[in-house]
């Protein structure tokens, strides 16, 4: 059985930046696309196909960071 501490060590979050200014921290990409609704931002289906870190689109950058 996996303990709570072990689950937290493996957890990752997404940090959304606009021109280097943090807009928020999200648990998954779906929440980011809902937050950015109405702006020039790619869809969820476009983001999940990309594997590079950070994900870049125009002035927006998404980093996948470890939970501390």
What is the value of pTM for the model shown? 0.81
Output the pLDDT for position 38: 85
66, pLDDT greater than 90: no
Q: In angstroms, rounded to a whole number, what is the distance separating the alpha carbons of residues 21 and 4?
A: 32
What is the rounded distance in angstroms from the CA atom of residue 14 to the CA atom of residue 58?
17
Encode pLDDT of 8-65 as tens digits.
888 889 999 999 999 999 999 999 999 998 888 889 998 889 888 899 988 999 999 9
Instruction: Give residue 24's pLDDT.
Output: 93
């Amino acid at each position: 059985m996996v303990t709570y501490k072990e689950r937290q060590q493996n957890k990752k979050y997404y940090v959304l930046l606009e021109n280097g200014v943090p807009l928020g921290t999200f648990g998954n990409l779906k929440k980011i696309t809902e937050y950015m609704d109405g702006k020039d931002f790619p869809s969820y289906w476009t983001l999940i196909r990309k594997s590079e870190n950070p994900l870049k689109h125009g002035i927006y950058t998404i980093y996948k960071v470890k939970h501390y």
